[in-house]
Structure 1
């Protein structure tokens, strides 16, 4: 090499955005959408108002207080249940790790990361053979997840996770334990 001669500089290849091996979001089931919930509440309120008018015409004011109090408690219970359903769990397998993220109302939540090496996905079953709980075991850590799924959905979720890891060359233990 002669003085003053420059060597071509090749930039180091930037890491390619690695696509996750497995990515799933688990949310609680919802039987009513926003419109259905609003319709249900409006119909319930209308029925209670009509019954209150009939009771007022009959002179039974104490029954009006009781019925209206029940409506208030019913509304509070439905709103509390809807608020509790605004949560989700995300399971992501990427870069040799499994990340379990828990969110509430779409905001920041908590996240746990477990290495795939030595990871066990335990399916806890009851006496009838239904999958009651899914647990991730890694050394001293033990995480329960997918509580919002039905037993059949939990089983299918565990199988899908195991298959995707197997295709990627990872082998995780999937024992079954009694409830």
Structure 2
């Protein structure tokens, strides 16, 4: 008769796992007016841009498994370059909206440009997007906007990264 209690325990455990999985995998796809109002309300939590700064807002679409995604923030500007590898200095700071607990990102100033020093052939000049050296990966969260403050002449771009299958080390 010891089999019967362990059978019930196994069925109960499977039922709880199925419920937890179904809740975790259900996508959040709410485009009702109240959801749009919530997004506008969330933006109220962030401070206004200071003089010389622009507030950039990235709204991410809802995904089934957001824990497998990251957002790469890429800041820079387009300028004339040659064959050298070029980049800007500057450190992106993470700050928290007071009273709300939401993170936002600030690039106080774009640092000086730097490059490698290879001899380039004549005519190698071209227009290219030159970035800051630091390009952080942040958590993907479609429920809150990604807010970045940067100098007015800086462009903010982003890229979404998706995790691959888990591998086993040997």
Band of TM-score, shorter chain: under 0.3
Would you tell me which structure has more helix in proportion to its own residues?
1
Q: Which has the higher contact order (CA 8 A, sep 6+)?
A: 2
Would you tell me which structure has more strand in proportion to its own residues?
2
